[in-house]
Amino acid sequence: MSVSLSRSFPLNQHVTSIIDGESVVAKREGFDIEVVNPTDEQVISRLREADDTEVDAAVRSARLAFDQGPWPRMDINARKDILYSIRDHLRKNAEELAYLECLNTGLPLRSVQVHVDRMARNFEFFAEVASNVHGETYTQTAGYLTYITREPKGVAGCIAPWNAPLALASMRVATCIPWGNTCVLKPSEYTPLSMRRMVEIFHEAGLPPGVVNLVNGRGAVTGQALVSHPDIDMIGFTGGTTTGRAIAATAGRNLKPVALELGGKSANIIFESADIERALDGALAGIFSNNGQQCLAGSRILVQRGIADEFIERFVARAKNIRLGDPMLADTEIGPLAFRAHLERVLSFVEVARRDGAKLLTGGARANDQSHGWFMQPTAVLAPHNDAQVCQEEIFGPFATFLIFDTLDEAIQIANASKFGLVTYVWSDDLHTVMRCSRDIRAGTVWVNTPLMRELRAPFGGYKESGIGRDGPQASLEFFTELKSTIIPIDAVKMHRYGAA
């Protein structure tokens, strides 16, 4: 797709909050954050941070929309019509959304276009799920009818990260509002542009004011004000494990439920019984798609000894050939990392790897053919053992770590020797091998001979430090709704009459 939109940058207005369906006008005073294009390091906009008072106004709007507004009380067909209208409006504005996302995150436009299509589908899918919710009845106790209903839980605080804002924030919102909940969304301070447009589009599509409010700012200020607000009923968070831990601690003190989608260090296991060509394509996609900045990256590549030398050699040859560059161009495979501090963090693992005794196979530096931008060469190292830091820590960039194993049992043991447990990739045409991995690896998703396939009908989330809870029809129903038991006698029941003569 060629990008036909033309805009002048910096955008001459601040990115501000959207509260009660209205754009908040930036006050004369306030804390500004520069929004930067990672491809050329130019400032493209500024966001005005929402302080405690503004976060409070956003929560009050969501509260009012929940307690008194039409959204939770609406006939499901009317609510579904609005969610379908959101889907249609997202599609209608797909080009602009993809452009803003690509501009602000550095993700290749090709990937972003897939994300925009998925976000539209998220709303369609969960609208359908919510319209099929049903309850239970119990009649076993003579003379009584007990029925169980599901009700929306209330106001959610939704916190989104910077690595794929459209895909991840839309999942947070699309799993939350169809049941009748309302929310306040806080995107990452690094990547507010597509998020702001997304929330505008929700309103253009007919979403009532107050159902989705947007606040922008740093995690420690705006995010903290949101997650500690007493009128929030639940928190959905996608981001790093350290931040997730802090949010869960705050939520725990306030007795608010949390759903956390956190990091990963997923094993991508290549057995000698695999179709090697496909495994090679899958291993490259697993670590280098989305600029390597994805929780479900196959970042620990375990190769069985008999094929290891050849596999690694071919992987490295392909990695050296990857087209790095302007993410807006159709044939770019890897764009820049999202922000300077992140590039520096990812680069710091090259030295960590060296100290661990790992062998640098390719890359390992800032891409020097790019004069501007936070580009990193596709990198791969061979680690001496799984205890090495590069095998245990989430690096979150185009940085693959190889390990060599001998047996099926050893591969399973290495895959499980991690504090994370988000996904696992298994490449093998041997049924026993596949079944053992599926049964014995402790991860929320096991991909067999396919990378990165997201089935919306299936729960998605992580074991161990990769998260708490799942996104999916049943799991989201349970997280975002309350159960109510109503007990009614069919005939007048005999009661003890306290104080009666």
Binding site for ligand TXE (CB under 6 A): 159-161, 163, 186-189, 218-220, 223-224, 227, 238-240, 243, 246-247, 261-263, 295, 394, 396
Smallest separation, CB 97 to ligand TXE (Å) = 19
Q: One of 102, 176, 183, 295 is an active-site residue; which one?
A: 295
Full DSSP string of 99-149: HHHHHHH---HHHHHHHHHHHHHHHHHHHHHHHT---EEE--STTEEEEEE
Do residues 85 and 120 lie in contact, with contact meaning Cβ atoms separated by under 8 Å?
Answer: no
With respect to ligand TXE, which residue has the nearer C-beta, 72 or 335?
335
Cβ neighbour number for residue 432 with a 10 Å cutoff? 10
Report the residue number, 38 or 180, with the smaller CB distance to ligand TXE: 38
For the stretch 442-465, what's the b/e string if a residue is b when 16 or more beta carbons lie within 10 angstroms of its beta carbon?
Answer: ebbbbbbeebbeeebeeebbbbbb
Torsion of CA 389, 362, 323, 198, to 10 degrees: 10
Q: Least separation, in Å, of the C-beta of 190 and ligand TXE?
A: 7
Residue 468 Cβ, how far from ligand TXE at the closest point, in Å?
Answer: 12
Element (H, E) at 14: strand 14-15
Tokens read off for 441: 């690896």
| Comparison of 104 and 243: residue with beta carbon closer to ligand TXE | 243
Task: Indicate the SS3 state at residue 97.
Answer: helix
Q: Report which DSSP code applies to 231.
A: T
Least CB distance to ligand TXE at residue 162 (A) = 6
Is 182 exposed, middle or buried, given 0-12, 13-18 or 19+ CB atoms closer than 10 A? Answer: buried
Pick the closer one to ligand TXE by CB: 35 or 205.
Answer: 35
Q: Which of 124, 261, 394, 465 is catalytic?
A: 261
Query: Whole-number minimum distance, CB 238 to ligand TXE, in Å?
Result: 5
**Catalytic residue flag (residue 183):** no
391 flagged as catalytic:
no
Q: Which is nearer to ligand TXE, 379 or 428 (CB)?
A: 379
The whole-angstrom separation of Cα 162 and Cα 144 is 53
Q: CA dist 128 to 64, 82, 133, 175, 474, Å? A: 25, 12, 9, 11, 13
| Residues carrying an active site annotation | 261, 295
